[in-house]
Structure 1
């Protein structure tokens, strides 16, 4: 299955990337263009389901830092290194023959310039440098270059910010962009892909859960509980039940307080303990070790670092009965889906291990009938908020199952 990467960059960066994106194996890129790095914050809030977010530079990554922290997936940015500096300086030297001291350069880490110049024996010559600070207005960065050029001190500006490049062009200041090499961009995307695979691997690791009660829990309730974390369950003894799931599913249940709904399903007090581990044996032992710490209608977790976390739930339940987000309001209006159902669908998207899913996956998570699930999906598909991207045939007989993906922001 392909790794899906959301790429945030300027129009110029994305146009260049499209020229060689075909060289990326088992990778699918979704493009999001910003006019200014500041725009990255809002773009991140509206990306569609994917496996990792990739930024074309450190500045948009820094601006979007708070929004990134709320994502259930990793993020990565293209780092500016000595290779980028060397490529840019060589291009200037061979194409324009401009001495280093007649250059003005803005970049996140000025030490990179010093390292390159020392390596090639030009430590006596130095360009005019501006260390980019996220608190700067982009106009300030442009004025740094413009004032040096208009004062006759420099002959060329080199900028790391695409918006500054266009501003300087408007000011009639000779300017070029910092040149990200093709190999550097491909390496950055491969690093992002590795982060996504690592996150998938971690979330797919086994998690063991125990529910302890003082009387028998019905099969119907156990099935509903298991469905919310996509688990199998077995009774360990009369009042102790074991659930086998993945760390990703359990983590979402804990972080979004899905387990609070479990307490509502069971009419008598229960205790919940989870264990993570590198093996089933270790996860089982961690769950057993967590159980003595649990009080009635609460949960504790011992992870694979032997850290005891809890008690859960510690926040209000995340299923929203109303929404003020304009985009979600529009989706609810178009599809006639309730905010509560939309919230549950978004939680499903966050917890599901893949961008793609089947009606059965959603049915198990929502704990509703197949007909209800298909009705919800039809509304989303009819209005362009989900789409069929393939089908699978898990049995030799019967109709193949449609494979879906969401086409609206769920993070």
Structure 2
């Protein structure tokens, strides 16, 4: 199965990447173009479900900081290093180095490269850029130097600056990102995606100690079990252990589902979570965390034996109103309720893969198969979901369709 990575970059960067993307057969790239790095903030909001997000440079990565932190998947960026500086200077060696102007993130890289090749007698005119830079200021830096006769060539790290200088008739080239550097950075992004999936799929055990058991306890415990897709075992008269994954628990904590558990019981309960790489390790950590838990409180112990608690309890994140214009359009066309859309987006955030089956969604939504298929049909009919394959994990019957969402769910 291919790992799906969203790539945010300039048109030039993306077109170049397309020429050698075939060299990464196990990675599928989805492209999002921007004209200036600042547009990356809005592009992040349009990203469809993926395993990770890759930025073509540090500027768009920094501009989209707040938006990135809301993503349920890891993000990475192509770092401008001494290899890119050396490659670019080599490609422009026909121009004396003291007649070159350069804008880049870290000017010290140029000094380092020149020292390595023992060429420190002359240096280019350098301008450092950061997220606070003005596009016009950078353009003026290059133009003023050429108009004054001090330089004959501009080297820029920003595609928008390149376009502006070209329109002004100023000799300019882009900073070159070596092919190997790009491939290595995308492979690193994929490694982060694999690690994130691995962490989310690790074992989690929830210990629930009842103050006393009554006629409603079984129903309450069943609701708790279903909310994190767990299996349950009764340890003794009042102690139960639920087995699930860290990803399921993390979502339940972040969306305040766990906080609502206390309202299900007529008497106080103590709750503790344990993480681990094995069932035994997670179970022991859950038991140790439970010793610290007080009534109607939650503690968590991870595989490093770090105890956290009492855990913060925030307001629920199930949206009953849709304000985002894109989601308003989805709701209007599919006739799906805002609550269902919110749940579908939560499912997309926590599901271990971009691809899923109707059964996966059915289990998460806790509705009938017919209702799930009706939801998927509405999404598919309007292009918001599509069938990308099929699976058959049993001997008889028809294979299951494998879907993926085609609208932003993050």
TM-score (norm 2): 0.96
Which secondary structure does the structure 1 equivalent of 2:244 belong to?
A: strand
Match of 2:149 in 1: 152
What is the CA–CA distance in structure 1 between the aligned matches of 2:291 and 2:329, rounded to whole Å?
47
Shift of 1:387: 1.1
Match of 1:62 in 2: 62
For the 8 Å contact 1:8–1:55, the answer to whether it is kept is yes
For the 8 Å contact 1:233–1:242, the answer to whether it is kept is yes
What is the CA–CA distance in structure 2 between the aligned matches of 1:277 and 1:183, rounded to whole Å?
37
Match of 2:209 in 1: 212
1:136-215 alignment to 2 at 5 Å?
136-213=133-210, 214-215=212-213
What is the CA–CA distance in structure 1 between the aligned matches of 2:153 and 2:269, rounded to whole Å?
70
For the 8 Å contact 1:228–1:364, the answer to whether it is kept is no
What is the CA–CA distance in structure 2 between the aligned matches of 1:341 and 1:268, rounded to whole Å?
31
- Aligned CA RMSD, in angstroms, stands at 1.5
Count, aligned residues: 408
Which secondary structure does the structure 1 equivalent of 2:277 belong to?
A: coil
1:240 aligns with 2:247: no
What is the CA–CA distance in structure 1 between the aligned matches of 2:171 and 2:287, rounded to whole Å?
68
1:104 aligns with 2:101: yes
1:303-314 alignment to 2 at 5 Å?
303-312=302-311, 314=313
1:73 aligns with 2:70: no
What is the CA–CA distance in structure 1 between the aligned matches of 2:335 and 2:295, rounded to whole Å?
39
For the 8 Å contact 1:226–1:233, the answer to whether it is kept is yes
What is the CA–CA distance in structure 2 between the aligned matches of 1:227 and 1:343, rounded to whole Å?
18
What is the CA–CA distance in structure 2 between the aligned matches of 1:220 and 1:372, rounded to whole Å?
23
* Unaligned ranges ≥5, structure 2: none
For the 8 Å contact 2:272–2:298, the answer to whether it is kept is yes
- The verdict on how the C-alpha distance between 1:240 and 1:230 changes in structure 2, with shifts beyond 3 A counting, is same
What is the CA–CA distance in structure 2 between the aligned matches of 1:225 and 1:184, rounded to whole Å?
47
Match of 2:37 in 1: 37
- The verdict on how the C-alpha distance between 1:310 and 1:375 changes in structure 2, with shifts beyond 3 A counting, is farther
- The verdict on how the C-alpha distance between 1:401 and 1:219 changes in structure 2, with shifts beyond 3 A counting, is farther
- The verdict on how the C-alpha distance between 1:189 and 1:120 changes in structure 2, with shifts beyond 3 A counting, is same
2:116 to 115, 119, 132: 119
What is the CA–CA distance in structure 1 between the aligned matches of 2:304 and 2:229, rounded to whole Å?
24
Shift of 1:362: 1.1
TM-score (norm 1): 0.96
What is the CA–CA distance in structure 1 between the aligned matches of 2:270 and 2:326, rounded to whole Å?
39
118-127 or 295-304, larger mean C-alpha shift: 295-304
Which secondary structure does the structure 1 equivalent of 2:145 belong to?
A: helix
What is the CA–CA distance in structure 2 between the aligned matches of 1:77 and 1:266, rounded to whole Å?
47
* Unaligned ranges ≥5, structure 1: none
Shift of 1:219: 5.2
Which secondary structure does the structure 2 equivalent of 1:197 belong to?
A: helix
Match of 1:341 in 2: 340
What is the CA–CA distance in structure 2 between the aligned matches of 1:234 and 1:45, rounded to whole Å?
41
What is the CA–CA distance in structure 2 between the aligned matches of 1:340 and 1:263, rounded to whole Å?
22
1:85 aligns with 2:85: yes
323-332 or 120-129, larger mean C-alpha shift: 323-332
1:327 aligns with 2:319: no
Structure 1 stretches of 4+ moved >4 Å: 216-221
